[in-house]
A = this chain, B = another copy of it.
Amino acid sequence: MADPIKTRLYVDSPLADGQSVGLDHERAHFLRHVLRLDRGDSVAVFNGRDGEWRAAIDGFGKGWCSLTVAEQRRGQDTTPDLWLLFAPLKKGRIDFVAEKATEMGVSRLWPVFTRRTDPNRVNLDRLRANAVEAAEQCERLGVPEMGDPLPLDRVLAGWPAERRLYLCAEAGMARPFAEVLRDAPGASGPAALLVGPEGGFDQSELDELVKLPFVVPVGLGPRILRADTAVVAALACWQSLAGDWTAGGSDRRPPFRAPAHSPPGQPSAD
């Protein structure tokens, strides 16, 4: 297996042997002055398309750093086709959702406004920065795509019929998620989870949701979970029973450990 490299960076550039990659001011500063890396040192880079590559630092300038891509360390893998629809939460908790959902392997993070959603806007840049940082830490080879924040009604109006939407219900009306997944043929097909706001769904909203043919209400146990807890718990259920935590999925285990460092310019969830 490849040597351990402590620093992983998500970049936009294409990655191929001999390709040059430029880093912006913040990352250049971080590599040079925080990690104290020097010309010739290696980092790992990935872009969500070309797998993970070793890249060597060519040099630093005033506010930039250039890398030359060397050899591929891992081929591109696929993450399960799993979307997370969630009602925006206040700052600390939404950071947490972006971080955790990325680690848990969602392919799309989609903020939706439900009738009782408290924050009425969402900072997509911040959401994306948290997702990038988590992807760098957790060995993912890509970053979840971001859905445009929209009212839930509008999202449902354009819903692709073949994608099952698991509604994380809190009102005791739903069968346990594990039981639903066990009995559902095609549970590992295109899927999405919907987690409501801290105040819960509006009853009329729930009534409308359960009438939709692609909606499957699922239960997450006898306690009332906070929205951010429900996100991780529901993702764990799906991944462990229908996703890439099953035996086949663990073949994609990455060959080396998480970095001790993450690059700057990304808000911390702490």
- A residues with a Cβ closer than 8 A to B are 90-93, 96, 99-100, 103-105, 137-140, 170, 172, 175-179, 199-200, 219-226, 229, 232-237, 239-241, 243-247, 249-254, 257-258, 260, 269-270
- The answer to whether A137 and B91 touch across the interface, beta carbons within 8 angstroms, is no
Q: A233-B239, A237-B237 are in contact. List 6 more A-B contacts (CB 8 A).
A: A104-B221, A105-B223, A139-B223, A170-B257, A176-B240, A222-B250
Report the nearest B residue to A199, measured CB to CB: B260
**Cβ of A88 to closest chain B Cβ, rounded Å:** 15
A258: chain B residues at CB < 8 Å are 224
Which residue, of A172, A179, A236, A251, has the highest number of chain B Cβ atoms within 10 A?
A: A236
Bound together, the chains give a CA A236 to CA B221 distance in angstroms of 9
- State how many angstroms separate the Cβ of A82 from the closest Cβ of chain B: 12
Measured CB to CB, the closest approach of chain B to A191, in angstroms, equals 16
- In the complex, A249→B244 CA distance in Å? 27
B-chain residues with CB within 8 Å of residue A178 when the two chains form the complex? 240-241, 245-246
- With contacts A177-B240, A253-B172 taken as known, whether A138 is within 8 angstroms of B270 at the C-beta atoms is no
Verify A221–B233 contact, CB threshold 8 A. Answer: no
User: With A232-B229, A269-B92 known to touch, is A221 a contact of B237 (CB < 8 Å)?
Assistant: no
Chain B residue with the shortest CB-CB distance to A222: B252
Question: Closest residue to A174 on the B side, CB-wise?
Answer: B250
* Candidates B176, B226, B233, B245; contact of A246 at CB < 8 Å: B176
- Of the listed residues A200, A221, A250, the one surrounded by the most CB atoms of chain B closer than 10 A to its CB is A221
Expressed in whole angstroms, the Cα–Cα distance for A241 and B249 within the complex equals 19
Chain B residues with Cβ below 8 Å from A253 are: 172, 222
The complex places the Cα of A239 from the Cα of B177 at a distance, in Å, of 11
Task: Assess whether A105 is in contact with B137, with CB atoms less than 8 Å apart.
Answer: no
**A92 vs B244: C-alpha distance in the bound complex, in angstroms?**
29
In the complex, what distance in Å separates the CA atom of A258 from the CA atom of B250?
37
* One of B177, B199, B236 near A233 (C-beta < 8 A): B236
Contact assessment for A236 and B245 in the assembled complex, using a CB-CB cutoff below 8 Å? no
A219: which B residues are within 8 A, CB to CB?
245, 250
A269 closest partner in B (C-beta) = B92
Contact B104 A229 (CB under 8 A): yes
Do residues B138 and A247 form an inter-chain contact, with CB atoms below 8 A? no
- Cα–Cα distance between A179 and B206 once the two chains are bound (Å): 33
Complex Cα spacing A236 to B175, Å: 15
CA of A175 to CA of B253 in the docked complex: distance in angstroms?
A: 12
Q: How far is it, in angstroms, between the C-alpha of A270 and the C-alpha of B222 when the chains are bound?
A: 24
Task: Name which residue of chain B comes closest to A242, CB basis.
Answer: B178
